[in-house]
A and B are shown apart, each in its own frame.
Chain A
Amino acid sequence: MTGDASANRVSFWRTFWANAVVAPRTSLGFMRIDFILGMIFIIPLTQISFFALTAQLANDSVSEIQFVVIGNAVATVTYSSVFSVCQTTDSEKQQGTMEHLLVSPANRLALYFGRGMIPILISLATVAMGLVYAVFLFGVPLAPGSEWALAVSVVLTAFAMVGFGLLLGGVALYLRTSIILGNIFLFVGLLLSGVNFPLSSLPSSLQWIGYALPLTWGLSAVRAAISGDSLGTLTILWGAVAICALVAYGAAILLWDVFEHRALATGSIARF
């Protein structure tokens, strides 16, 4: 019994590390070094510049431009966490490895967390770089002593967003391709998560959709940390991000479980 538990533990961590190390080179097709560097250094700068200049043209108000800058610095997280992770399902199907994955005894939890590890690290780096640009190039003021709160907010956001990407990857399992889903959620946060204007300026039905997205809560936590809000406020927001993350990872695992059973029943899930 003890031997089985120990073997299971070893198998769990082996699956976790194998996926963490191998997935970026195989199913995470976008994770080439040039793409990674581009995602971390170029995309945040160009996306922030684009929306900051648009805001400047619309209304030359410093506070509004800074609102847009912070929003887009955090929103760049979606490239590595949502779009790339969501594409893994397509890659598995294209490479013909989906059937092998579905019949393998690998622990699913280890598999998903392992696959999410490198995207989480890249997401962290992307948001961190975006915030560096925001502070040093666009003059966003950072409240004194808020660095640690900001770090916690960014880590939680990256974690939750990768979970959301895995969830979309699970949905994409049932679709012919994940490119549409990936594209929708790559950009929808710009509109519904309070990236460019407060959520309150949207119709109430859209506000509810926005509240269901982890980016909304992650961004709120980052904004609160930057402006030096109290620990009480931050704790509530961190809790919301953590709940989003748990729901996303849980739903992702549940979806894959459902589709696995469907795959066994119909033998058609891996069609591309």
Chain B
Amino acid sequence: MSLDSKTPSGPLAEKWTRYRGTMNLVAPNNKRRIDIIVVGSGLAGASAAATLGELGYNVKCFTFHDSPRRAHSIAAQGGINAAKNYANDGDSVYRLFYDTIKGGDYRSRESNVYRLAEVSRNIIDQAVAQGVPFARDYGGLLDNRSFGGVQVSRTFYARGQTGQQLLLGAYQALSRQIALGTVEMYNRHEMLDLVLVDGKARGIVARNLVTGKLERFAAHCVVLGTGGYGNVFYLSTNAMMCNVTAAWRAVRRGAYMANPCFTQIHPTCIPQSGEYQSKLTLMSESLRNDGRVWVPKNPEDAKAIREGRKTGNDIPEEERDYFLERRYPAFGNLVPRDVASRAAKIACDEGLGVAPTGLAVFMDFSAAIERYGKSKANAMGLHNPGAEKIRELGEAVVSEKYGNLFEMYEKITGENPYKLPMKIYPAVHYTMGGLWVDYNLETNIPGLFAIGECNFSDHGANRLGASALMQGLADGYFVLPYTIGQFLSNEIRTPKFSPDAKEFVDTANETRQRLEGLMNVKGSQSVESFHRRLGKIMWEYCGMARNAEGLEKARKMIRELRDEFYKDVFIPGSLEEYNPELEKAHRVADFLELGELMIIDALNRNESCGGHFREEYQTEEGEALRNDEEYTYVAAWEYKGWAEEPALHKEELAFENVELKTRSYK
């Protein structure tokens, strides 16, 4: 089956405007009669629920957190892109579109990306009106900085807490709608299954995490804003509770999972320090505006640093290899994430790593501290300031820009990054793959929509920094509230659904059996131990570099691990109580299935593109080698059953406005 993206006709720059002006509407008196379920309360979910509530729909919003404000969007640090061109440096909607397509290594859909770039400007306006305290200059206007893979400054930021401030804006808009009664909020409810009636998505089964009871909810349609699946790797920068269950349960009901092997490994995270480690912490990409990434040229120096006999400060300038600046002079330290991550891995593979584990490179701020210090001294009219004064002034400037990140680094590592270069290493951060959606953000199941990181649509094989916040809010505030009308305009005569109907009861019974099955294994190993082992397999064989042999091996290992899980997992407590171990068990069970699909997808894609680096397909210089002839498509996978091979459906990608080129940041 070929997939219809439902991309409207017409020139790229006019598609969205024309479509929006001619699409079907639901009249206000009918909106009141229509129920919508939104699952997730992060940037995408909260902004969608709030906006749909404002429009007059009856919205039910679900989160497994104790409050919608806890969603993991809150942890995004660096910023949000928008084609405002406030910096007057040549930015435009087209340029943001082009950078995103190129950054994604030509594996995303042109029409969706162009629309994203268009509405990016509205997001900033909306956020400022909500009171999001973006950084400003002395004239009181908004300030911008640069992120990887671009040559303009289009990133708006709120210190190192941009995600927090944007999420609080959306949370407050949502809170207002909750108070007005247009949105009913269900905290501590986790979606465990999707209910279909006559092939359309009409509701969900959720577990009340406090009582442990299963509850059924009905609506005219269901929107998933449930985030990404990076936690399949166990160690990632995702929050501990991030999971794939809502999306995976939709896949089990027939939704297609697109490009699941496209995962983003973020280059600048705090390296792992031990086996007990539960998660990895990101150091924002914005740091690469001022941090220079390097390793010692001499393996002996690297060894001395690993063994604690030397520090980064002991290595003289001429003995350092600023490898990103050397390999990619045009973009330097601000190459895209996939490129920077691979370069760091190569340096460490060559024995130049600087942490005791051998897995870390330096990110050094001394040059920036000196540069800012000198410029500050000039501004203050200080003549001949000493080196110490310059350092002091420079550290103050750096602290104003990145203070909270430096503090976080020191808390975790116990080292002062103002005095010693930071040690960083790549870690799983984001998943570009996700539920397949068309231009309306609707999956192949009618009435089931997916927004934000949960869908696959905008970032191709690699996401650019500061674009996740942009996409989540674009989908929730400015795209879905329009496109959902294309489905709902045909539903105005559909009466309300009863959660007591057979389909709902049957689905809830199946969910109950699944949970009881897990509880009844009564084995001997903890859920956590299985998750850790799954993560190791995924990282080793389906991480920064992959090859066919390793992937085949990993597939077998995951199947064995899954069998062992269902034979020997132990979950304490009972079904109908507050039981975090049972919550985790269900999530890990779904990760064990998703992991295999990621491997199947990685095996199928015999090329390297973006975050998907197949070792068999690389240039002589070690850069990714795409195969446009055979793989310029979205791989959308249909679940066929526990022991069956999934079916591949292809959406061919047409590039009518951008020429497919080898991505170069040299």
Chain B binds chain A: no
B interface, CB within 8 angstroms of A: none
